[in-house]
Structure 1
């Protein structure tokens, strides 16, 4: 699992909204998204009648990460006896105890058998300065949404959660015709330049997209940048247009020597989610993108 790659040189405005949930026979929830100072998506959930600001992190394969001091307040939570190791983009390794939550309720929607971990402060920052490592931040990841479909819309600042047997007729996404692979590192989708093809992980817990430096074709156009990435790391940015399911994605994607245990070619972070409305059907492993014409969601 790889998640929450923070970049201190990307700062966005923080918005503030209250939780709003609309129900259609309890098949749909609409939850506002706000953004923290690193531009990462925050949703407000009520857990045991206590409101929490929760990070939406598709870079985590697990359902929920809870600070130890919150675990005792969750009913129906049982430890499995297993410990899980994970690492961040710098190769730092963390070990967390695993648990299961039998039933989890948001508004009238039930989320069952959610796998979770004690929260480890895995956040990695690149460059100078200090970033909160999120040691007390509740995080929800992929397993939280198993059997459901979600629509992430940064432009409208909403997260829609639908039961898998229902399609939202008001959605801006017209179809789910593209397949994705669910790997141990997350949702993998293919992107293409005019030179090569790459497999990238969707990571809403990353404040920017990243390519693994040594996996980018030497024939790609790259440009030198002036961010301080750390000792002996040359700053380079991918300077070619990518195609994602037929759509163009123009972004300055940083090249970084991500730890070799990460098997994909890179990460699609906040800049990607600001460019597309992303609908994901977890039951059928299908995905659709709708370009955001005015990608100023921050």
Structure 2
């Protein structure tokens, strides 16, 4: 090969990481018949007719002999809820298949479950590609499921979501400088009010105010909630109103004071579980219309937003239960 320009390896890796990719796990069996697998984001399609795909493996990878010697392997395109599985197969020095249920495909290749798509392949060609070996495989069979993909970008996992074509252009107010239709406060506020409007009738049946339900729900996070933790968790949300709501719950026999702070009574626990179960059913109906992939993206982004604008929210969860 000719001369190669001198690159800063770290910066080169970062530049390559600006290209978002899906995440896959490639599996096969070694010469002893043991299952082998690793996480790969170099997967790509090559041809539709004949059906060909490719991926690459580092020349110093411990699993290289298994993939080179076995003519069959499978590509698993991971769904957005399989980040833990991706991490497991990215680590060295452990039994990656321990405790996993999997099927067997062409040539006895392990087939993982719950993936967006699975491609069972036979090695068609091998190419030397610098410090990697490039595998081109003929797809013998495949299956797929509707889900959101797990994405890798900038050195970390990410989520992909579809844009709603009906709302690609934010609406603008007639008053110049006013809030537009994509103002975060408007989107969060209206979504909250419309979502909570479906839960409020349940609270009215139980005779609870919004504030009382919020505190009642918070008390379910730990067996006993220290008053300082409750105050920290309610700071900027209910503030002093949390004490009034807590006092009302105690007066109604739904909560009680204990040396460590406060806990739910039996009646309070039954009430909380009944309301939370009903609220979860409402949530499921909303998220079903949104779609499983976008639902997970939404929750992930809201959790990130919460850590940015309200770090104290973690006080309710620290040390649970």
Structure scoring higher RCO (CA < 8 A, sep ≥ 6) equals: 1
Question: Which structure: greater strand fraction?
Answer: 1
For normalisation by structure 2, the TM-score amounts to 0.21
> Which has more radius of gyration?
2
For normalisation by structure 1, the TM-score amounts to 0.22
Question: Which structure: greater helix fraction?
Answer: 2
